[in-house]
Every structure is written in C-alpha cells, then in structure tokens.
Structure 1
Amino acid sequence: MLDWKHEELFSFLEMVPLPIYIFQDNSFKYVNQRMVELAGYTREELLQINVWELIDPADRHLLLQRALRRLRGQREPGNYEFKAINRRNEIRYLHGYFSLISFDSRPAILGQLLDVTREKRLLNELQKTEARLRDIFDNVNDVIYLHDLKGRFLALNQAVIRATNFLPEELEGKEISTFLHPDVKHLVDEYLRQVIEKGEIRGLMRGLTKDGEEIFWEYQSVLFKGRQPYIRGIARDVTEQVKMRRELKEYLCRLEEQNKKLSKLNEELARAKEALETMVRTDPLTGLGNRLAFQEALEREVNRTKRYLTPFSLLIIDVTNFKKINDTLGHPAGDKALVRIAKLLRASCRQCDLLFRIGGDEFAVLLPCTGGEKARMVADRLRQKITGETIMETEVAIPVYLSIGVATLDSRQESLGIEGLIKLADARMYEEKSRQKAEIS
C-alpha cells in the first residue's frame, strides 16, 4: 500500500472503539490507542516487542499455529478466546476477531479484541459454588432472575432497575416476553424447551427498556429440579458490545470495499502503464515501432544471434524521392506516402519479421534467422512491391522508390556488434540511394 493509504487506514482505526492491531512477520506493524491501553505498554514498545511474550504460555503454541495457517490462506476460525498477559503481568481473557488482509502487498492479520476478563471470571465464580448465590443476587451489577417453567418471572434483583428502568416487582409474575423486543417474542417457547431439555443454556437476547429503547442481554440460564422446579439465570447488558460489533462489521465491509477499489485502481494503473509503454515505443503516424523500440529489438536479436549462432539480417530502408513528394505535393501527401509504404512493408514481410520507422522517411526491418542471400531476396521483393506505387494529389502523380541497405550478422561476423551492423546497412542504403537518384534524374 502507498504511504497515504497507510495514513488513511491508521486514522480510521484510531476511531474504532476496540483494541486493534496489524500483525505481520511475528511483530505488530500497527496498534491503535485502545490496544496501547489494554497492553499497558507504549505504542513504540509494542511495535518492538516479541508479540508471543504477550500471550499466556498455555495458549501461545495454538495461536502461533493459527496465525501461520491464516497467513498461508488456510481456513481458520474467525474469532476465539485466549489468555494474554499485560505489562503488570496480569492475565486478561480476550475474545479476538481476526481477518486476513493485504498490508504492504503481503498477507497480514487484522486483529480486533474484546476484553472479556470480567465476564469470564464472573462465570467461573458462578460455576464454583451455588452457596454464593444470595450474596451475588444482592450485590452483583448484572441482572439475576428466577422464572418458572412457563416463563413467568419469580424474582429479579435490583440491577434490573439500572438496566431497564423496570422495578423488580413490576416484572414479577409477568412473562419474559414483557420486556423482549417484538421481533424476538416468538423465541420464548424455544428458549424454554431448550433450557428444560438441556438443563443449561447460554445466548443473546434482544429486549426493550421501560422507555422503549433497544437493549441486548447476554444470558446464562440453569434449570433447578425439585418439587417445584424453576430456572435461575444471570443476564448482562452487552448493548455497547453489540453496537461495537455492528460498527466493526460495517467497518470491515468498508475496508473490503476500499480493498476492491484499490485492486481496481491497481488494475487501471497496470493497464495505463502498459498503454504508456506501448505509446512510448510506437510511431504515431504509421503504427510501427519507433526508434526506441528498434534499438531494444535490435539488441535482443543480436544477443540471440550470438547466443544460438543463428544468422540475423537488418534492412535499412529509405524513400529515395521523399523530398520530391513533400516539395511537390505537400507534407500531408508525404505523410500519406509514409503510411502507405508502412502498410505495404508490413504486408510483404513475414509474421516473425519486425518493422520500425526510425526517422523521417527511414524504415528498418529485422529479419530473424535470415542469412545474407535470403535478406537480399527480401529486399528485392520489397522494392518490387513498392515500385509502381504512386502518390497522387490534385492530379499530380509521383512514383515511389526505395533504397534498401542489407547487413547480416552470422557466426563469421560476431565482432560486428550493433553499431557496426547499423553503419554497414546505412552505408549500403546510401550507396543504392545515390545510384537510384542518378537513374531517376
């Protein structure tokens, strides 16, 4: 990615209300401020630290293997929990969300973290002993509820007031659906069936406060059997987390769209670069290769001839009477003559032959795997093809004549080189041009 893209990405990630990092080459390439706060290290320290020292040893090997497989493009879970160690050597339980992205044109991992340490420890405490139920019921900040097997509340703690503005007594004796969102009221029967059959379930429930505001609960319900069985549970307000997850999902969608736009831009740039390179090497009048393309192709062919000991010939072609065409019929007619000559040359050469316009009225033809005798035959064929062609403008017709110089490179002339080959073909072309001018005049 370009530097300004880095800045745009990093600026956006700083606004995300979650600890976020980019991981590549076993190190952090970027951490946002929330990540700095979570780890307890400075941003500079996190960019230098060994990432795996921050992971609890019990989880370190598994996370390393998952990271390597993800970077190789293998399928891995998109999110899971693990234990980490902050600067104060405290164990933190984290729920991570991981995506494979392209960073600096190489695979990297975008990680987003939720600190679920408090939730994890609370659930562990609840599982350790039921004897602390009363104390938790009286003091915990989460909502604790009891309801019968038909879904009617038997009791709730005071935390329900802070979360929903309902008083416990307002809900006691009422059905669970009283404070559920209308879109999920139909799920109550399925919830009751599962908790009765399984004895314990966990999940996410969508509700409404007394004021009609949307709220999300992460709950755990347990069935207690006896003469009068009932269900006891604890619910935590995770509205902010759900909103953050929604925002994160929207952010990832936007990031994916940006990646698509960037890929499209890269494709357009590649096409533009290819078109520009073609334009730089193409004569705009005739469509043949220009002087630059000629020099590059000639160097390739000479090197190939010397490497594989195959013959190679060069034709330098000049329009003998081009000045007369220009002076008599005008420059537009001269341009038409050059275009016509280029088409005739192309039609008269083999598919493997390479044609170029290397000057005003000068052309060049590269003849791979062609010795001197065959090259001279090609030159004769080209002269015959052009002879008789006339350029007409305002009823004035001028025939076209070509002067062609032939130079051949083979195993006997390896020392000739590129410049020597051009000079030899040029000299022979000028000899023929002088002879033709004398004949024409």
Structure 2
Amino acid sequence: MLRWLTAGESHGPSLIALLDGVPAGIELTTQDLRDALARRRLGHGRGSRQKFEQDALTVHGGLRHGRTLGSPLAIEIANSEWPKWEKVMSADPVAREDLMIDAGTGDEREIARNRPLTRPRPGHADLAGMLKYGFTEARPVLERASARETAARVVAGRVAAAILEQTAGIRLVSHTLSVGPVRVPDDAALPTPEDVTALDADPLRCFHPATSEAMVAEVDAAKADGDTLGGVVEVLAYGVPVGLGSHTQWDRRLDGKLAQAIMSIQAMKGVEIGDGFATAARRGSAAHDEILAGEGTDGSDGRTRRESNRAGGLEGGISNGQVIRVRGALKPISTVPRALRTVDVVTGEQTTANHQRSDVCAVAPAAVIAEAVVALALVDALLEKTGGDSLEEIRSHLAGTEQLQESLLQRENR
C-alpha cells in the first residue's frame, strides 16, 4: 500500500510531502516534480500570488540518480515569501513589538499581516476551526486549511502518476467541464492523454474552444463584479486494468476511495462517478452499459465490448477495464472581494469578512489537483492488487493476473 501525508502551513517556511511505499525503480526527477507544480499555477482567474511565489523544491530522501529507492520519499516545497512571514508564523514565541515592524518595505500595510483575524469568512474553515480548536482568531486555522497545501499533494500525485504509467501503462487526463453557468456540451469529445499539452495551454483547461472562450468571459465578468466562481472538473484514467478495488468491504470499493480523494480537496462540495446524477434520472434500460460479445476496443477485457461508459469504468466498486471517469464540483472561492457579512468574534459586532488577495476562479488548478489525488487513490488500489516492492515485481504480478483472467475467459468459452 501507499501511505502519504502532507505538512506545513500556507505562509510557513515550507510544505512537506512524505510518501511511504513507493516501489523501487520508478524513473523520476526533480524537474518532473517542478513541472507538476507549474501546471498547478496555470489558469485564467488566478490571483497575484501565483506570479511572485516561487516553488523551491528539494527532495530529501527516497530518490537517487533519477530512480526511486523503495525508501520513504520526502519532498520539500520552500516558501519564497517566508521572510515576510517569519515573525507572524514563527514556531517560537515572538514579542508583541516585533509584530508591529514592517517587512522592510516601510509600508504600513505590511503590519496588517500581523493583526489577529477575528472576522471569519463564510464558506471557509475559519469559524468552524476556531470553535473546534479553541482559537480566538482565524490565522491558526486558515494557514493549514488554505488550498496552498495542495502544492504538496500535486507533487505526491506526480510520483503516483509515474508509478501508474511505468508499472501498468495507466495515464491520467484532467479537464474543466464548467465554470459557473458555462458548461461544455454533453456531446463534446473527451480529451485523451495525447491532448494534455493542449489542455495545459488553454486558459481554463477546457477541451472545447468555444466553451473556453465563454468561460474566460464569465471569469472576467465575475472579477469586474468583485465576485468569485466555481465549476466542475473531470479526471479520466486510461488503461486501468480490470480488477482494481473490491466489492467485498466498504473501504475497499474503488469508487468510494476516489470519491473520498476528490472530496478531500479544499472547496470541493460534490463528486460524481461516470454519468452519476444524470443516471439517477434514467430508467434502468438506459442507465447501464450493456455487455456485448466481440473484441473490445474500449479498454475492456478483449472478449467483450461496451458501446457506452455511463458507469465511469467502475462496477461494484471494481474497475471494469473501461476509462475511469470521476468529477468534482468546486464551490466559488470563499474569499470574496465583495466582502460577505460575518461577525467579529471578539467584539460580537456585525461586520464584513476578512479579505486578502485571492483568485477569482481556481477551477483550472483544481483539475490538476484532482488529477493528483485520483493518481494517489489508483496507486493504492494497484499496489493492494499486485503487491510488489519494485517496478519489475509489480509488472510481473500484473502479467500473471492478465494470464489468469485470460485463462478464465477461455474456460468459460469452452
């Protein structure tokens, strides 16, 4: 199994990703990880923070000469803005007078970062976290609740993607289905792994050019109105073999693992496998993917084929050989320029929420983040299925599984 954790605060000295159970022999470089972080910074509607914050990445263990060692992989992403926050986020106690000194710019606004944040934002973890952990201001909560944490998940996901592709030939694609009310047509073609470069170049990671233009206009309109936008993203997993996950226990169902992974992303409020909610409105005769005899061309078992994939590549919590499709619904960003009403928790007065610089729309990077967590969930299911401490051992186990499945199919056809 693959175990992974992240640590660190948004404005702390660094973020940390720690992965245990990474097989030996996976080809990986620090440039691969930097490229993954660069993809997370893309997207129309991002705030100024993406322009001046640089991700200084260091691997502290688990990788040597471009190959994983089988030992824990430790990755650090340093915060280039740390000097501005060294007093505010100091691990040790800081004198009150030190918090009234600017960061060397002579700008009084620099001192504002030191002041207690007592006006929680609706829709954010601020107030619930303050009440849960007994804080009188939001800073200790929002620093960890911030989506900045996903930078660590993206590098962890890049490691997972390398494992998937190099052991099993699994490749992932993420794209944007909607921004606010603007949505890709239902009959639009799905992107494939060969389309990733084009997706990375699109301002909103949309594979439908006309819809992408409309999405850009919607983001610009929201910015002009002092508002924010959410949307829906989709991750596609190509080449997933039959048999990942299990129906035998609730916590081994792959659809459940994928749903939890998507919902763990900051600001996600909904998840869907395959046609999901649309299928709920159909009759059974139009809801399921009929099994037809003949050579499969859709990644199925080679003896059968499907003419549809409404189930999103999963039946009974088990991958069925078709493309896995999982979607996540991202709410609008809760740091709204047109500040929403809240209560100052110290004075009890009605006021407006704290507002710091923020994105107007983070749907495009959310797709990249969703791709990362789906990769992590799939690797865990793959390693549960195959075992193996090294790249070659996993490949060998997969080959044996394929041979067994082929013999079972031949036996059924006698």
Q: Same fold (TM over 0.5)?
A: no
The structure richer in strand per residue is 1
> TM (normalized to structure 1)?
0.20
> TM (normalized to structure 2)?
0.21
The structure richer in helix per residue is 1
Q: Using CA pairs under 8 Å that are at least 6 residues apart, name the structure with larger relative contact order, 1 or 2.
A: 2
